[in-house]
């Protein structure tokens, strides 16, 4: 079997209601889907994170990576990964995200050739006979920043009534509003539900210290990504911050390979690692990241978005050792067509648990009307805002 082509498909879903996070306001969802065809008629699907520059990542895949794999056997996944990685290492994180879509599609092909779901090829699964299910936490494009804290509390309460036991608030607006949002959600859901907050890397050191210490009062499950990832020392400072309070630290959704993750772990900055297979160079690389986490006794809490990338992340999460497997991110909000209509069958969620597709490969196909229904819309997915910092004395 030989790879005959690698194609990229850009799709969009316009949001009915804008969603606000620390980075800015989202008006749509985008996804970059990778499709690999073979000379035996078997096709594989994957997803690469678009990095808010989808045409650039698409071009990288088609012009740089596709020529490296076309004509090769799709079953030699590891050797193709190394060929792509070391052939594009000078392109940094963009290359890692581009590699992800091809790598995931190769695992989809291998699953179809062998008649096995990807999670089982990776050594995961259970003896239930119906495929594994994973505990979910509410994240993605939910629980956005808002002034109306009553509506935020109502949203959180609704998820708990559906059976979810963990919810994530979006932060990064300012420290006072972040603390007020967590306080409102904690009061709404009670003491037995995990409440996290994601600052989306918006804060300076003194702001992050104030936030981390303030979150202790609300038994906050974790503080995710308090620092800007462009700061060279952010991994070391995460470790310092972790030692200043009892609030656990989560990070890894914007750290792209095992090499960066190893630094994050070694410097003591995290209690939860949050890799995403569409960002962190695919399933192959994320399995290696899970091994790092296992050696350091750090929990993996898979970061993800709805869509095909969500499905790939489910297979990864189902395959990692149970002793380091945490909650998987899930968007249970209303009006989410990527979640409900992009792939067939749609991912099933019951009582706060996600069921991993059990058919060969990723276990899903693109819905027949996907490309028409989700025609790509030009323009930014998230309209960013300038960073505003209230500098305070260092603690």
Q: What is the pLDDT of residue 125?
A: 81
- pLDDT classification of 338: cutoffs 50, 70, 90: very high
Q: What is the pLDDT of residue 98?
A: 97
State yes or no: pLDDT of 375 exceeds 50: yes
Q: What is the pLDDT of residue 104?
A: 98
State yes or no: pLDDT of 392 exceeds 70: no
pLDDT in tens, 220-255: 999 999 887 655 567 777 878 888 888 999 998 888
Average pLDDT, the chain: 92
pLDDT in tens, 169-226: 999 989 999 999 999 999 999 999 999 999 998 888 888 899 999 999 999 999 999 8
pLDDT in tens, 70-111: 999 999 999 999 999 999 988 888 999 999 999 999 999 999
Looking at the structure, do residues 41 and 188 belong to the same domain, yes or no? Answer: no
Q: C-alpha dihedral over 157, 158, 159, 163, to 10 degrees? A: 100
State yes or no: pLDDT of 54 exceeds 70: yes
Is 390 domain-assigned?
no
Looking at the structure, do residues 171 and 23 belong to the same domain, yes or no? Answer: no
How confident is the model over 347-365, as a mean pLDDT? Answer: 96
Is 148 domain-assigned?
yes
Looking at the structure, do residues 163 and 109 belong to the same domain, yes or no? Answer: no
Alpha-helical (H) ranges within the chain are 54-60, 66-69, 77-87, 93-114, 118-121, 149-161, 175-189, 205-215, 234-242, 258-266, 282-296, 308-319, 337-341, 370-373
CATH number at residue 44: 3.30.390.10
Of 115, 136, 164, the residue at which a domain comes to its end is 115
- Inter-residue contact 391 to 174 (CB < 8 Å): no
pLDDT in tens, 257-302: 998 888 888 887 789 999 999 999 999 999 999 999 999 999 999 9
Looking at the structure, do residues 195 and 222 belong to the same domain, yes or no? Answer: yes
Looking at the structure, do residues 110 and 250 belong to the same domain, yes or no? Answer: no
How confident is the model over 302-310, as a mean pLDDT? Answer: 92
pLDDT in tens, 126-181: 766 667 999 999 999 999 999 999 999 999 999 999 999 999 999 998 999 999 99
- pLDDT classification of 390: cutoffs 50, 70, 90: low
Q: Looking at the 3D structure of the chain, how many domains does it have?
A: 2
Q: What is the pLDDT of residue 395?
A: 47
User: How far is it, in rounded angstroms, from Cα 289 to Cα 280?
Assistant: 9
| Pairing state between β 133-138 and 353-355 | antiparallel
Q: What is the pLDDT of residue 129?
A: 60
Looking at the structure, do residues 189 and 205 belong to the same domain, yes or no? Answer: yes
State yes or no: pLDDT of 393 exceeds 60: no
The distance in angstroms from the start CA to the end CA of the chain is 61
Looking at the structure, do residues 242 and 271 belong to the same domain, yes or no? Answer: yes
pTM above 0.85, yes or no: yes
For residue 19, the cross-strand partners are 26
**What is the chain's alpha carbon radius of gyration, rounded to the nearest angstrom?**
20
CATH number at residue 209: 3.20.20.120
Q: Counting beta carbons within 10 angstroms of the beta carbon of residue 144, is it exposed (0 to 12), middle (13 to 18) or buried (19 or more)? A: buried
Half-sphere exposure of 56 (CA within 13 A, CB side): 11
Is 328 domain-assigned?
yes
Looking at the structure, do residues 209 and 82 belong to the same domain, yes or no? Answer: no
**Which residue has 């030009």 as its token pair?**
378
Structural domain harbouring 38 = 3-115
């Amino acid at each position: 079997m030989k790879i005959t082509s690698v194609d990229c498909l850009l799709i969009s879903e316009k949001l009915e209601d804008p969603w606000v996070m620390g980075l800015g306001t989202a008006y749509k969802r985008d996804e970059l889907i990778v499709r690999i065809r073979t000379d035996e008629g078997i096709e594989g699907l994957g997803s690469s994170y678009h990095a808010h520059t989808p045409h650039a990542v698409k071009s990288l895949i088609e012009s740089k990576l596709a020529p490296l794999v076309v004509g090769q056997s799709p079953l030699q996944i590891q050797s193709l990964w190394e060929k792509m990685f070391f052939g594009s290492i000078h392109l940094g994180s963009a290359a890692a995200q581009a590699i992800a879509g091809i790598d995931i599609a190769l695992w989809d092909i291998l699953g179809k050739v062998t008649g096995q779901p990807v999670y089982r090829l990776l050594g995961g699964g259970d003896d239930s006979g119906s495929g594994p299910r994973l505990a979910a936490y509410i994240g993605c494009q939910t629980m956005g920043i808002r002034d109306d804290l009553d509506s935020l509390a109502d949203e959180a309460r609704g998820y708990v009534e559906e059976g979810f036991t963990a919810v994530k608030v979006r932060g990064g607006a300012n420290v006072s509003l972040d603390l007020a949002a967590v306080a409102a959600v904690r009061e709404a859901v009670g003491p037995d539900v995990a409440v996290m907050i994601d600052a989306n890397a918006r804060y300076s050191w003194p702001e992050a210290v104030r936030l981390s210490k303030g979150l202790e009062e609300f038994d906050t499950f974790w503080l995710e990504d308090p620092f800007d990832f462009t700061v060279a020392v952010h991994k070391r400072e995460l470790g310092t911050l972790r030692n200043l309070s009892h609030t656990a630290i989560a990070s890894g959704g914007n750290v792209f390979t095992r090499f960066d993750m190893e630094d994050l772990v070694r410097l003591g900055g995290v209690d939860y690692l949050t890799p995403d297979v569409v960002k962190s160079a695919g399933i192959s690389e994320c399995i290696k990241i899970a091994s790092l986490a296992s050696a350091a006794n750090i929990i993996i809490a898979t970061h993800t978005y709805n869509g095909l990338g969500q499905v790939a992340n489910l297979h990864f999460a189902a395959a990692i050792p149970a002793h380091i497997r945490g909650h998987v991110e899930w968007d249970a909000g209303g009006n989410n067509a990527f979640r409900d209509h992009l792939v067939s069958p749609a991912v099933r969620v019951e009582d706060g648990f996600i069921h991993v597709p059990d058919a060969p490969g990723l276990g899903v196909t693109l819905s027949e009307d996907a490309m028409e229904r989700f025609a790509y819309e030009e323009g930014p997915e998230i309209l960013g805002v300038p960073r505003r910092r209230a500098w305070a004395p260092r603690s």
